[in-house]
Amino acid sequence: MKLQTIYYHNYEQGLPQENNYILGHTDDSTIIVYQAFNDSIANYAIENQKFGGPAYSFSRMTWIKPNFLWMMYRSGWAQKENQNRILAIEISLEGFYKLLEDGVLTHFDNIYASQQDWQEQLNNSDVRIQWDPDHNLAGDKLKRRAIQIGIKGKALEEFNNQYIKSITDITAFVNEQYQTIQQNDKNNWIEVISERIVEVSPALKKKLAIPDTFISDYILQLIQQFETTGEIDHEEFEKLLNDKEPRGDERRKMVEYIKNYKNLHFSRYLLQKAIDFRKSDDEVEGNDPYICTSPDLLMFSYFVSKNKTTIDFDLIMEAKCIDFDTWCGFDGEMIFYTLGFEGTRNYLQNNVEKFSQNTVDYFLGFTKEYLYDEIAPRAFWYLWY
């Protein structure tokens, strides 16, 4: 998995500000967890793509963290002794969920029959789960709580031999951000790993005291209206747009929803409606095309891109050709996100008649290095409100 970064001032937009939530960087089948080690352990892990060697112990409990900033707080941005190397470990979501299912909370909770029962489970378990205050960029405590998972023994061996898909050394990236923080130069924006809520089963939500939903009542009403009638009111849609005046709280709630959830049919409907706004001028009575701008098209395109199908790619391309604020580099981020780099290139080459030769040639000119090295660090700027 290629790590996507985001500027910190955009990171918190759309994330819950209190309660227990698992935040992480995921795709459809894997999740990134972080650990900090000394050079000896880190070098072995990078070379062998698993843990081991004389400095590593499988009998000692090791802690993994899916939240990047929580790892930065614990390691002091890789400045603490024996924590000077930060590893991003890609593991299967299936394995991650199993650790949560097998884990025992480090504090007593009424989900256990008694305190004695909890203590016995804790003593006999190879997996422990702990909630701690999350922290912001400055290291200040937040009301939101972050999860970390302790593993040892058989569970650690399974983690090492079955769950791990790749291990990446991100120490250089961490050191670069730390130096920028030390300079205290507000013109240099700090990058962090882009994260969203990691959804778990109802049983795990109950066990881990995670709120059942992060969807606001307003968004739930919109979804219910859409599922009932196949559309949402024109006036309600306008409230979601960036340039609608006066601006209310509705766009913020939509950003929160889009950043953390997928909804196949609702996402397609919203993007198509935004496209219709931009196309309208006098074509569609009642639409004001000037309040539906490129950030709106990008926001709804991002929502659609999570579906990962050619249908969604075609819809995003339609939005691109309507506006997206002329032909610019940010387009590549959205166009290639849906199908991936090679998948996008192949689809474009096989569908020249659908998009035109000029359009296909334009996007075939994007290199993987440009998309990952230039665009990714600036990703998701349009998720604002």
Which residue has tokens 């993987």?
368
Q: Beta-carbon neighbour count of residue 338 at 10 Å? A: 25
Average pLDDT of span 143-167: 97
List the domain boundaries for the chain: 5-208, 217-378
- Supply 254's token pair: 């939509």
Distances (CA, A) of 33 to 86, 150, 229, 240, 281: 10, 12, 41, 34, 48
pLDDT at residue number 222 = 96
Residue 51's pLDDT band (cuts 50, 70, 90) = very high
Q: Nearest CA to 168 among 372, 330, 384?
A: 372
pLDDT at residue number 102 = 96
Mean pLDDT of the chain, nearest integer: 88
Please determine, for residue 207, whether its predicted confidence score (pLDDT) is greater than 50.
yes
Cβ atoms of 312 and 301 within 8 Å: the answer is no
Beta-bridge partners for 79? none
- Supply 110's token pair: 């009424």
Burial of 21 (0-12, 13-18, 19+ CB in 10 A): buried
Indicate the SS3 state at residue 247: coil
Half-sphere exposure of 249 (CA within 13 A, CB side): 4
Cβ atoms of 364 and 348 within 8 Å: the answer is yes
The pTM for the full model equals 0.78
